[in-house]
Chains A and B, each alone.
Chain A
Amino acid sequence: MGNRSSLLLREEEIAQIQEETGFTPNQIERLYSRFTSLDRGDCGTLSRDDFLRIPELAINPLGERIVNSFFQEEGLNDRVNFRQFMRVLAHFRPIKKNKENKLNSREEKLRFAFKMYDLDNDDMISKEELLAILHMMVGANISEEQLTSIAERTIVEADEDRDQMISFEEFCNALQRTDVAQKMSIRFLN
């Protein structure tokens, strides 16, 4: 327990995170206790393995991709600290009408989803990238040709400039009718 106390959240840190992400102090503290319970090594940061120890996450077909998105910001770094952790979660805060926040806007939410596909960070979803995701989601029981034709069809449908890729703009357009604000938000408990 003595070890734990050194990891307690300081007031100014809470204020900083609150400023940056828009969470309330209660939510921050709640998430912090979750963070520390995930942090097996008690070192104040999480590794990929810490995430993947969550049993449901390990069997989520996209689990690894999602975990990776926590590590994108800092490039080579393979541990996330609490602030980075919170910055990622902030994307999923519900959009409040009169409170502008740059992290949880509709565009940021879409950007997050887009990055799940875009492995090589070239701001384009190629057929291969789409196929990789389809493979994970649909599973093995389906023939390769069928998956390929699904991927091709999806690209043709969204592709406006005929370059056989889906750009972020095209991606947003394809999801125009989807209530992204609703779909990619989560109610954070207080």
Chain B
Amino acid sequence: PKKEVERYPVISVSFYRVETPFIIGLWIFCASLAKIGFHMAPKLSEIFPESCLLIFVGVVIGVVLVHVTDSVHMSPLTPDTFFFYMLPPIILDAGYFMPNRLFFDHLGTILLFAVIGTIFNTLTIGASLWAVGLTGLYSCDTPLLDMFLFSSLISAVDPVAVLAVFEEIQVNEILYIVVFGESLLNDAVTVVLYHLFESYTEMGLENIVYQDIVAGLASFFVVALGGTVIGVIWGLGTGYVTRFTNEVRVIEPIFIFVMAYLAYLNAEIFHMSGILAITFCGITMKNYVEANISHKSHTTIKYTMKMLSSSSETIIFMFLGVATVSSYHVWNTWFVVLTILFCSVYRVLGVIIFTAIANRFRLHQLSQVEKFVMSYGGLRGAVAFALVLLISPDIVPLQPMFMTTTIAVVYFTVFFQGITIKPLVKILNVKTSEKRKPTMNERIHERLMDHVMAALEDIMGQHGNYHIRDRFKRFDNKFIRPYLLRNHQGAEPKILETYSKLAMRDAMEYMRRNASTI
């Protein structure tokens, strides 16, 4: 019998082969188009922050998808895609371009808010929701541990949302670093509390012994310090590797991205805080990498990082919109209203209590207006949403309700707070910041002031910020820089850096003005 041969086709269609990358590409394309769209409508982006508009576009796309495909298509925002691919670029960008000095100067306040503040919020929100539940207002059973599991994920301030809104309003740097630092560092607390209450729920309330509580406390330190240490080690590693890249300049940017990403994944392997790891990796590597890589690589890194983070952010908000439409919802009015209420009330309360404590130790006192912006800046976002998706409905039957409520809270903070914060900042006359490069005079005189202050602390026998910074600098210059930098120059790299930047700018200016002479 003659074999049936298929004739060679002129053209053939096989969509399934490219389906996944094609759809991903299409998503990114749509999100980027939407972003261009907003900037062409300046009126629109003056009233609404970009994140609101992106969520809105997401909702529209979601509605269209539901009507067209009519089936349960896979939701694009899964916890894995979020935590592995969309979150790291944003956090790396934040860590790498973190104003180190500012961050460490306010570390005490930031830690107070990130650690104690988040625990306070989790406990109070959880307990209040549970207490109201006892009255039977929700008309469903709300066990204590489930409530704490929910409050642990809803009480964390979200770095993505905070960045998205605060980048636009440009408040003064202290306010910015406190809110933003809190959102980055509270990840450790969130991760621990979330895993803690998750396993408590699995165990059941009656089986918890005090040993579990102590283990929870211990695991907090492990998660936070472990994440930080992993980050710092990878950061130093990156510095060391770039020491040898002077012959192969083109792969310089790769090391920065890959090693930071590995730090993140490395921390995630051990269930440590990936966010902390990649933040500190960025903070650490910047100190050493910048001195080793070429000027062009630096530009590449800067723009690639900005591009990756802003497109991730765009996609996250759009996906959040899409996910709203296409998931099963269990709407419980009282639960939603009370969650939003408690989130806002305890945020304000927490800020009042903890700024009062912080102000006792601070040189720059946080004023009423700043307190207000801080409590208003407690935005919730995609991290909460991704975490709520991770809860298994088999163990926590209330999961669908939690998900709906989380989305409601995210919408409330991103839309209501996001839209009103800009006019409020104007009305309250919050000092806004101006981005600038230091002049030669500022660089040198400010450095001199640092030395004076360090000396003063030593004379008075007070070991404050300046003393610690001085110590670190000396250690850095003696034991770290010589090994990580290709050519280690002097004790004040910043002064030289400013000088060469200014000299470069002058040269460019000269070339531009005297183009004919060249």
Assess whether B330 is interfacial by the CB under 8 Å rule: no
Assess whether B449 is interfacial by the CB under 8 Å rule: yes
* A174 with B470: CB separation less than 8 A: no
* B453 with A186: CB separation less than 8 A: yes
* A92 with B462: CB separation less than 8 A: no
> Which of A134-166 touch B at CB < 8 Å?
134, 137-142, 146, 149-150, 153-154, 157-158
Choose from A60, A146, A158 the contact partner of B458 (Cβ within 8 Å): A60
Stretch at the interface among B134-142, B301-309, B486-494: B486-494
Query: Beyond A38-B459, A61-B491, A116-B452: 15 further Cβ-contacts under 8 Å?
Result: A57-B459, A60-B454, A63-B455, A66-B455, A67-B455, A92-B453, A94-B363, A138-B491, A142-B490, A149-B499, A150-B440, A153-B499, A154-B441, A175-B442, A177-B442
* B489 with A142: CB separation less than 8 A: yes
Q: Which residues of B contact A66 (CB under 8 A)?
A: 451-452, 455-456
* B453 with A184: CB separation less than 8 A: yes
Q: Which residues of B contact A54 (CB under 8 A)?
A: 458-459
Q: Which residues of A contact B213 (CB under 8 A)?
A: none
Complex CA distance for A180 and B442, rounded to whole angstroms: 11
Complex CA distance for A112 and B455, rounded to whole angstroms: 14
* B492 with A139: CB separation less than 8 A: yes
A-B contact list, 17 entries, CB within 8 Å: A37-B461, A56-B470, A56-B471, A60-B470, A66-B455, A137-B447, A137-B491, A138-B496, A141-B490, A141-B491, A142-B490, A153-B502, A153-B503, A154-B440, A175-B442, A186-B456, A188-B460
Assess whether B422 is interfacial by the CB under 8 Å rule: no
What residues make up the interface of A, taking CB atoms closer than 8 Å to B?
31, 34, 37-38, 51, 54, 56-57, 59-63, 66-67, 89, 92, 94, 112-113, 116-117, 130, 133-134, 137-142, 146, 149-150, 153-154, 157-158, 171, 174-175, 177-178, 180, 182-189
Residue-wise, chain B 298-325 has the 8 Å CB interface mask toward A (1 for contact) of 0000000000000000000000000000
Residue-wise, chain B 432-466 has the 8 Å CB interface mask toward A (1 for contact) of 00001001111011111101111111111110100
Residue-wise, chain B 345-375 has the 8 Å CB interface mask toward A (1 for contact) of 0000000000000000111100000000000
Most chain-A CB neighbours within 10 Å: which of B442, B460, B474, B496? B460
Q: Which residues of B contact A175 (CB under 8 A)?
A: 441-442, 445-446
A138-B458 contact, Cβ under 8 Å, with A62-B451, A113-B445, A116-B452:
no
Complex CA distance for A185 and B362, rounded to whole angstroms: 11
Q: Which residues of B contact A60 (CB under 8 A)?
A: 451, 454-455, 458, 470
Query: Whole-angstrom distance from the CB of B365 to the nearest CB of chain A?
Result: 9
Q: Which residues of B contact A139 (CB under 8 A)?
A: 490-492
Q: Which residues of B contact A183 (CB under 8 A)?
A: 446, 449, 453
The 10 closest A-B CB pairs, nearest first, are A174-B441, A141-B490, A139-B491, A56-B458, A66-B455, A62-B451, A154-B440, A142-B490, A138-B492, A139-B490
Assess whether B65 is interfacial by the CB under 8 Å rule: no
* B454 with A56: CB separation less than 8 A: yes
* A137 with B440: CB separation less than 8 A: no
Query: Whole-angstrom distance from the CB of B56 to the nearest CB of chain A?
Result: 39
Residue-wise, chain B 482-517 has the 8 Å CB interface mask toward A (1 for contact) of 000000111110011001001100000000000000
Query: Whole-angstrom distance from the CB of B477 to the nearest CB of chain A?
Result: 9
> Which of B186-227 touch A at CB < 8 Å?
none
A178-B459 contact, Cβ under 8 Å, with A59-B474, A153-B499:
no
Choose from A51, A94, A141, A185 the contact partner of B459 (Cβ within 8 Å): A51
Query: Whole-angstrom distance from the CB of B459 to the nearest CB of chain A?
Result: 7
Assess whether B467 is interfacial by the CB under 8 Å rule: yes
Q: Which residues of A contact B459 (CB under 8 A)?
A: 38, 51, 54, 57
Complex CA distance for A149 and B500, rounded to whole angstroms: 11
* B445 with A62: CB separation less than 8 A: no
A178-B489 contact, Cβ under 8 Å, with A51-B459, A57-B459, A186-B462:
no
Complex CA distance for A46 and B286, rounded to whole angstroms: 43
Q: Which residue of chain A lies nearest to B105 when distances are taken between CB atoms in the complex? A: A182
* A182 with B491: CB separation less than 8 A: no
Q: Which residues of B contact A63 (CB under 8 A)?
A: 455
Complex CA distance for A182 and B363, rounded to whole angstroms: 7
* A62 with B455: CB separation less than 8 A: yes
Q: Which residue of chain A lies nearest to B474 when distances are taken between CB atoms in the complex? A: A59
* A185 with B448: CB separation less than 8 A: no
Query: Whole-angstrom distance from the CB of A172 to the nearest CB of chain B?
Result: 10
Q: Which residues of A contact B440 (CB under 8 A)?
A: 150, 153-154, 157
Complex CA distance for A139 and B451, rounded to whole angstroms: 14
* B467 with A174: CB separation less than 8 A: no
Complex CA distance for A37 and B459, rounded to whole angstroms: 11
Q: Which residues of B contact A153 (CB under 8 A)?
A: 440, 499, 502-503
A133-B448 contact, Cβ under 8 Å, with A31-B460, A60-B470:
yes
Query: Whole-angstrom distance from the CB of B185 to the nearest CB of chain A?
Result: 23
A89-B460 contact, Cβ under 8 Å, with A56-B467, A137-B495, A187-B361:
yes
Q: Which residues of A contact B449 (CB under 8 A)?
A: 113, 180, 183-184
Query: Whole-angstrom distance from the CB of A144 to the nearest CB of chain B?
Result: 12
Query: Whole-angstrom distance from the CB of A182 to the nearest CB of chain B?
Result: 6
Q: Which residues of A contact B456 (CB under 8 A)?
A: 66, 89, 92, 186
Q: Which residues of B contact A137 (CB under 8 A)?
A: 444, 447-448, 451, 491-492, 495
Q: Which residues of A contact B361 (CB under 8 A)?
A: 187
Query: Whole-angstrom distance from the CB of A55 to the nearest CB of chain B?
Result: 8
Query: Whole-angstrom distance from the CB of A87 to the nearest CB of chain B?
Result: 14
